[in-house]
Amino acid sequence: MAIGPRLDLRQSQSLVMTPQLQQAIKLLAASNLEIETFISDALEANPLLEAGVVSSDNESPSSDPDDIPREEFTSDQLMAQTQGESEAPLDIDAGALDRDRDTGDGVAMSATTNDWGAAGGSGGAAGDDFPGIEATQASEASLGEHLDQQIGGIAVNDKEAFAARHIAGLLDDAGYLASDLRDVAYDLGVTLDEAEDALEVVQMCDPTGVGARSLAECLALQAREADRLDPCMRKLIDNLELVALGEVARLKRLCQVDDEDFADMLRELRSFDPKPGLAFAPTTTDAIVPDVLLTQNDNDGWDIALNEETLPRLVVNRSYFVEVNDGSPDAEAQGWLKEKLADAHWLIRALDQRQKTILKTAAEIVKQQDGFFRRGVSELRPLTLREVAEQIDMHESTVSRVTSNKYLHCDRGCFELKYFFSSGVASSDGEGASSEAIKARIKALTDAEEPKKVLSDQKLADLLRDEGFDLARRTVAKYREAIGIGSSAQRRRQKKLSAL
């Protein structure tokens, strides 16, 4: 058989994401501030688009210095202008919503006008004209992100974890809590004792000293971690103003130590970090602006609307379109003009679909977490992306993109949409249990075990099953490792050492 090059013709079918679909996915995951930046770039790329001005009842929608009339186009009008030109469909799973429609659950969704859009270049390609979400984030983890990864393994339940994450979000770049804890408790709808417990969870996180309300508290937390917070060190930390003034003799009398001990204490005090949060990326680089606004209406229901202040309206320069269309018999110019108009039309639909999808998802979250918005974090229930996706007839990945980098503002504060989700496991009562509650139960069981009767993962699974939690041994091992608890052999050695 001869060996040599040859040509073969084969047919195959494959699923390929079109550039427009890739663009739609990026727009869905982008926040309002990122959309604002994207629209600014689109204004430079498409001459048929210009920024509109929100008008009053007696004024035209927009005007330019030469008083050339402008007209806002709806999707149907733009479709007519393309004269039946074919286009790629907006292939993302999101159902249509009627404006100002009541969902039947006391939640009214108010969509913004759909007479706005953007174009990012010819064909709406998703290459370099719109950066990925990752490119807009800080290269290093922020303090809030670092704390968020630890809180779930320390808090005893979802309620405490939610409050702790809220407090972590209030810390400044140095790691201090400037807000009054009573105000925090009121915003979350919890007692002051519960807010203090949540603050203690934050203060147990790494780096030691975060969550402090003063320099003295920050240094005391670090001294306690180093097992040096004895009465003498406590006296020294309580009189930092004397340290600053150099009142050595007075401090030695207060602490009741000699010169050598005082020198050691001072050296240890100077080794502590007065601003532990500065080791992480500053949080001020990303301003938090709510994408969804939630207010209570007169009928004891909820009104949900997108934040229009961060979404500039766009209008089509009709006079420019007519002028170029009538004065350019050249086929190439006509083709370019139709392409730009088609770009604007498709992006208007994509952005309109984006806002409808966000509103629909936010409405379902408000419905599921109604107790939280009315009575506080004590009513926060386990919720998964799949539950919301099934209720609004969308794919789980779509809900995940919608809730990424999006914030909801309500009377209790500004919360990321992801905060309202907590995974759960099956339970005998049919209600399900939060994964954070399972972790807390595993920690309680391992803390209570005796050195000679250390529980294996299978025994832990059996005990949890007796309590109504249906978990496999591998799932128990995963949760145990997630909260930093060693294996049964490791725990047995540690308990024997501690008993010596």
**pLDDT tens for each residue of 165-181:** 999 989 998 899 998 99
Report pLDDT for 349: 80
- Decide which of 72 and 426 is more confident: 426
Distances, alpha carbon 254 to alpha carbons 13, 216, 217, 234, 264, in Å = 83, 16, 19, 10, 16
- Given a contact cutoff of 8 angstroms between Cβ atoms, the answer to whether 320 and 47 are in contact is yes
What b-and-e string marks burial along 404-442, b requiring 16 or more CB atoms within 10 Å of the CB? Answer: ebbbbbbebeebbbebbbbebbebeeeebbbbbbbbbbb
Report pLDDT for 130: 31
Average pLDDT over residues 433-443: 72
Report pLDDT for 366: 92
Report pLDDT for 106: 55
pLDDT confidence tier of residue 382, bands split at 50, 70 and 90: confident
Helix (H, G, I), strand (E, B), or coil: what is residue 174? Answer: coil
Cα–Cα distance for residue pair 283/290, rounded to 1 Å? 16
Q: Residues 238-270: pLDDT tens digits?
A: 998 888 887 888 888 899 888 888 888 888 888
Report pLDDT for 84: 37
pTM: 0.52
3 state SS for 211-278: CECCHHHHHHHHHHHCCCCCHHHHHHHHCHHHHHHCCHHHHHHHHCCCHHHHHHHHHHHHHCCCCHHH
Query: Residue 154: is its pLDDT beyond 80?
Result: yes
Average pLDDT over residues 368-397: 84
Q: Residues 298-330: pLDDT tens digits?
A: 888 899 988 877 676 777 777 777 777 777 677
Query: Residue 214: is its pLDDT beyond 80?
Result: yes
Cα–Cα distance for residue pair 317/324, rounded to 1 Å? 11
Is the Cα torsion angle 36, 112, 31, 16 positive or negative in sign? negative
Report pLDDT for 321: 76
Report pLDDT for 198: 92
Average pLDDT over residues 484-492: 83
Nearest Cα residue to 349 out of 110, 62, 133, 91: 91
Report pLDDT for 215: 93
Cα–Cα distance for residue pair 66/30, rounded to 1 Å? 36
Report pLDDT for 432: 54
Nearest Cα residue to 278 out of 220, 209, 216, 223: 209
pLDDT confidence tier of residue 202, bands split at 50, 70 and 90: very high
Query: Residue 102: is its pLDDT beyond 80?
Result: no
* Average pLDDT over the chain, rounded to an integer: 75
- Given a contact cutoff of 8 angstroms between Cβ atoms, the answer to whether 107 and 363 are in contact is yes
Report pLDDT for 343: 82
High-pLDDT (> 90) share of the chain, %? 14
Amino acid at 217: E
Average pLDDT over residues 137-152: 74
Report pLDDT for 203: 93
pLDDT confidence tier of residue 377, bands split at 50, 70 and 90: low
Helix (H, G, I), strand (E, B), or coil: what is residue 57? Answer: coil
Query: Residue 500: is its pLDDT beyond 90?
Result: no
Query: Residue 445: is its pLDDT beyond 60?
Result: yes
pLDDT confidence tier of residue 110, bands split at 50, 70 and 90: low
Which residues are bridge partners to 306 per DSSP?
292
pLDDT confidence tier of residue 222, bands split at 50, 70 and 90: very high
At 137, list the tokens. Answer: 């984030």
pLDDT confidence tier of residue 364, bands split at 50, 70 and 90: very high
pLDDT confidence tier of residue 201, bands split at 50, 70 and 90: very high
- Decide which of 281 and 209 is more confident: 209
Query: Residue 347: is its pLDDT beyond 90?
Result: no
Report pLDDT for 425: 59
State the CB neighbour count (10 A cutoff) for residue 29. Answer: 19
